[in-house]
C-alpha cells in the first residue's frame, strides 16, 4: 500500500510538471489512479495477471532463448568461454522489454513480490550484458560489435525504445532507478555517435522517438527531447540506408520530411509509432507536425481502415497498399497495429479534445486489439483477418513475438484511456466500470462508474466530492439517441462540443449522473469504392463488430442473405464464450447467429466472416 502511494505521488508530480509545459487540451488520468471493476474488463485483467503474464515469462525464460541471450551476452570475452551465438531474431530483446513493461504496470495496481523479484533478476542480466561504452543489444554483442550501427533496419534504436518504456514504467511502479540508469547510459552512447554535426541516422523501425520523450518526462533532461526531435527531422532527406545501399523510402516512411507527410505508406506498426512520436514531441516543442498528423489521420481512417479498426491490408509489407483496397480473407491487421491505433488516437484526442479520435480508439480496442488474444489469455493472433476458412488460429507464441508481448503490456494500462482532465473539466472518454481518483490543480475528486458496457448502454457516474468543473461525457459516434439525468432528474441545459455532452454545475459529494445510450443493432455498409465489400454489410452493436462462425450456423452460414425486413434479436449467452451477448438475424427464411468479432476462433476450427451478403 505504501509503495502504491509513493508511485501515485510520483505520477501526480510528473503529470503536473508536464501539464505546465505542453499545449494539450485533455490530460490523461493515469491508470495508476483507476481501478477497473466491471464484468467485461476485470476478468480479462485477472487473466492477464494469472495466465497471460506467466505465459510470456515462460516463453521468454524457458521456451525460447530470449533471456538466455542476455545471460550469454554478459559472458562474451570472458576467460574460458567459447563462441556464443545469438538465438532468434535480431530484435528479440524488444519482447523481453515489452513483457517487462507489462510486468511493471501490473505492479502499480497489483503489487506482487514475485513479479518484482523477477523484474530485478532480469534487470541484473541486462546490466551485466551492457558494454563499458553503454551499448546494449544482444544481437550485436553476440554476433560482432564491429557490425553495430551499420544497418538502420537492424532495430537497435527500436529495442532501446522499448527498454526505455519498460524502465520508466518500473521506475514509476517502484521508485527504483537501476533500470533507468541502464537506459541513460545507452542513450548517452547513441548521442555520442548521432546528432547535429555527427552521424546521420534514420531508425528503420520507429519507437525510440516516443520513448525518449517518456525518458525526458521522468528525468527533466531536455537533451532526450532534443534527440527525439532530431531523429524525427532526419527523415525525408536521403539519409536512410540499409546494408545494400539506399532503402525503399515509402516502406520506411522516409520519402519526405515528417511535417510534409500527407499520405500513408509502408509498414503499419512503424507508421503508428512514428505518429505517436511526432505527437509527443509536438507537446513540448514548437513544430508543424499537427497539420500533417491531421491529414494522415484522414488518410488512415477514411480510406485505409477496416470496420474492426484494424489497419494494414497486405502481408508483403505488413502494412498499407492502395486506398480503398480492403480485402477480408487476406487482411493483415496486425494486433500491434491496432494497439498503435489506440496509442495514436489517444494522443490526437489529448491535443484536440475531439471525441472522433476516441471513437476510433474504442473501435480498435474492442475489436482489433481484443481479437488478438483468446478468452483464456494464453494464445495470440498476429494477423486478424475479417474472413477465414477454418485454418487460421491463435498460437501460443511466434518466432516474431511482437504481438503477444505487446498485448501483455497493453492490457494492464487500459485504465489510462477512461478519464481525462483539463483546467475546467472532467472528461469521460470510455465507459468502463471503475473507481478513480482524479487530480486537478486545486485538489482531487473521486469518481465511480458503474456500467455493463459494451453489452448495455446505461452508465451511472457518481461524483465523490465537491467539484466546480464541467463534466464532459463522450457520446460515441455510433450513438444516435441518448438521455442524461442528474440525481434522477433531467440534466437540464446540456451543451455539446466535438462529440461531448457538457454539464456545467457545481457538484457535491454523492451526485449521480446517468447516461443512457440507445444501443440497437446497426447494419454497416462500406464505402462504395471498397470493391471487396460490394453487395455486403457488417453488423455492429455499440462498439462491437459482429461476425458469423460456421460452427453456429450450419447451412445458413453460406446461404444467409440480409434483406430489408431482417429482424435482429440480442441475447446474453451465459454459458458460451465468457457470457457474450450474441445476435440472431432472422430474414424470415433462415436465422444467422453472430458473435462479437473479438471472440471468434475460441472453440473448434470454423469458418468465419464479418461481411454478409445483402439483398
From the list 56, 276, 333, 402, the catalytic residue is 402
Phi, psi of 470 (to 5 degrees): -70, 150
Which whole-number Å values give the CA distances from 472 to 182, 357, 484, 504, in the listed order?
A: 42, 15, 12, 9
548 forms bridges with which residues in the sheet? 609
569 forms bridges with which residues in the sheet? 584
What is the length of the chain? Answer: 615
Q: Let me know if 402 is a catalytic residue.
A: yes
From the list 318, 362, 532, 549, the catalytic residue is 318
Phi, psi of 453 (to 5 degrees): -55, 140
CB 11 within 8 A of CB 384: no
Helix spans in 304-377 (H): 335-352, 355-363
Cell 454459458 found at: 575
Q: Let me know if 56 is a catalytic residue.
A: no
CB 83 within 8 A of CB 76: no
Which whole-number Å values give the CA distances from 467 to 353, 367, 440, in the listed order?
A: 21, 35, 10
Cell 485454418 found at: 391
Q: What is the b/e burial string over 286-324, where b = at least 16 CB atoms within 10 angstroms of the residue's CB?
A: ebebbebbeebbebbbebbbbbbbbbbbbeebbbbbeeb
Please, what is the Cα angle at 465 between 461 and 466, to 5 degrees? Answer: 110
| Residues annotated catalytic, as ranges | 318, 402
Amino acid at each position: 500500500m505504501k509503495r502504491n502511494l509513493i508511485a501515485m505521488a510520483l505520477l501526480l508530480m510528473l503529470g503536473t510538471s508536464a501539464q505546465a509545459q505542453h499545449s494539450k487540451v485533455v490530460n490523461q488520468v493515469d491508470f495508476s489512479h483507476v481501478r477497473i471493476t466491471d464484468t467485461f474488463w476485470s476478468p480479462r485483467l485477472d487473466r492477464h495477471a494469472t495466465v497471460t503474464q506467466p505465459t510470456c515469462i515462460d516463453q521468454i525464460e524457458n521456451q525460447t532463448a530470449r533471456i538466455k541471450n542476455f545471460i550469454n551476452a554478459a559472458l562474451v570475452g570472458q576467460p574460458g568461454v567459447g563462441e556464443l551465438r545469438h538465438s532468434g531474431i535480431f530484435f528479440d530483446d524488444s519482447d523481453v522489454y515489452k513483457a517487462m513493461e507489462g510486468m511493471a504496470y501490473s505492479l502499480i495496481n497489483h503489487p506482487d513480490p514475485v513479479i518484482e523479484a523477477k523484474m530485478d533478476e532480469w534487470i541484473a542480466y541486462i546490466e551485466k550484458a551492457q558494454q563499458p561504452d553503454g551499448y546494449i543489444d544482444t544481437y550485436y554483442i553476440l554476433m560482432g560489435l564491429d557490425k553495430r550501427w551499420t544497418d538502420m533496419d537492424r532495430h537497435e534504436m527500436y529495442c532501446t525504445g522499448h527498454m526505455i518504456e519498460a524502465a520508466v514504467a518500473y521506475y514509476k511502479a517502484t521508485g527504483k532507478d537501476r533500470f533507468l540508469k541502464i537506459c541513460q547510459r545507452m542513450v548517452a552512447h547513441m548521442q555520442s555517435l548521432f546528432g547535429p554535426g555527427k552521424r546521420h541516422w534514420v531508425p528503420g523501425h520507429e519507437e525510440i522517438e516516443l520513448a525518449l520523450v517518456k525518458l525526458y518526462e521522468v528525468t527533466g533532461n531536455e537533451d532526450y527531447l532534443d534527440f527525439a526531435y532530431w531523429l524525427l527531422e532526419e527523415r525525408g532527406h536521403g539519409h536512410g540506408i540499409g546494408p545494400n545501399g539506399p532503402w525503399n523510402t515509402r516502406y520506411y516512411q522516409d520519402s519526405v520530411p515528417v511535417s510534409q507527410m500527407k499520405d500513408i505508406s509502408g509498414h503499419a506498426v512503424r507508421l503508428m509509432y512514428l505518429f505517436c512520436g511526432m505527437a509527443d514531441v509536438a507537446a513540448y516543442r514548437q513544430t508543424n507536425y499537427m497539420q500533417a498528423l491531421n491529414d494522415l489521420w484522414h488518410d488512415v481512417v477514411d480510406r485505409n481502415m477496416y470496420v474492426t479498426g484494424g489497419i494494414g491490408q497486405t502481408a508483403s509489407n505488413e502494412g498499407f497498399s492502395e486506398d480503398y483496397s480492403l480485402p477480408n480473407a487476406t487482411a493483415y491487421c496486425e494486433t500491434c497495429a491496432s494497439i498503435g491505433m489506440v496509442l495514436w488516437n489517444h494522443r490526437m484526442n489529448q491535443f484536440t479534445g475531439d471525441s472522433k479520435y476516441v471513437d476510433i480508439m474504442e473501435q480498435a480496442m474492442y475489436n482489433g486489439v481484443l481479437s488478438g488474444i483468446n478468452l483464456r489469455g494464453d494464445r495470440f493472433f498476429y494477423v486478424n483477418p475479417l474472413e477465414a476458412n477454418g485454418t487460421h488460429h491463435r498460437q501460443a507464441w511466434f518466432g516474431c513475438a511482437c504481438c503477444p508481448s505487446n498485448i501483455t503490456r497493453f492490457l494492464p494500462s487500459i485504465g489510462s484511456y477512461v478519464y481525462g482532465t483539463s483546467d475546467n473539466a472532467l472528461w469521460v472518454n470510455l465507459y468502463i466500470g471503475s473507481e478513480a481518483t482524479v487530480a486537478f490543480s486545486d485538489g482531487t475528486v473521486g469518481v465511480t462508474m458503474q456500467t455493463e458496457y459494451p453489452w448495455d448502454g446505461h452508465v451511472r457516474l457518481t461524483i465523490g466530492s465537491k467539484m466546480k468543473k464541467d463534466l464532459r461525457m463522450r457520446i460515441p459516434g455510433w450513438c444516435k439517441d441518448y438521455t442524461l439525468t442528474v440525481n434522477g432528474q433531467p440534466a437540464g441545459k446540456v451543451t455539446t462540443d466535438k462529440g461531448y455532452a457538457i454539464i456545467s454545475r457545481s457538484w457535491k459529494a454523492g451526485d449521480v449522473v446517468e447516461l443512457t445510450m440507445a444501443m440497437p443493432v446497426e447494419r454497416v455498409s462500406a464505402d462504395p469504392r471498397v470493391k471487396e465489400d460490394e453487395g455486403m454489410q457488417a453488423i455492429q452493436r455499440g462498439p462491437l463488430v459482429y461476425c458469423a462462425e460456421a460452427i453456429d450456423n450450419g447451412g445458413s452460414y453460406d446461404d444467409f442473405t440480409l434483406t430489408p425486413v431482417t429482424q435482429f434479436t440480442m441475447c446474453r449467452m451465459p454459458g458460451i464464450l465468457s457470457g457474450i451477448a450474441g445476435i440472431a438475424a432472422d430474414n424470415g427464411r433462415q436465422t444467422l447467429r453472430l458473435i462479437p468479432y473479438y471472440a471468434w476462433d475460441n472453440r473448434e476450427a470454423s469458418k468465419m466472416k464479418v461481411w454478409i451478403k445483402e439483398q
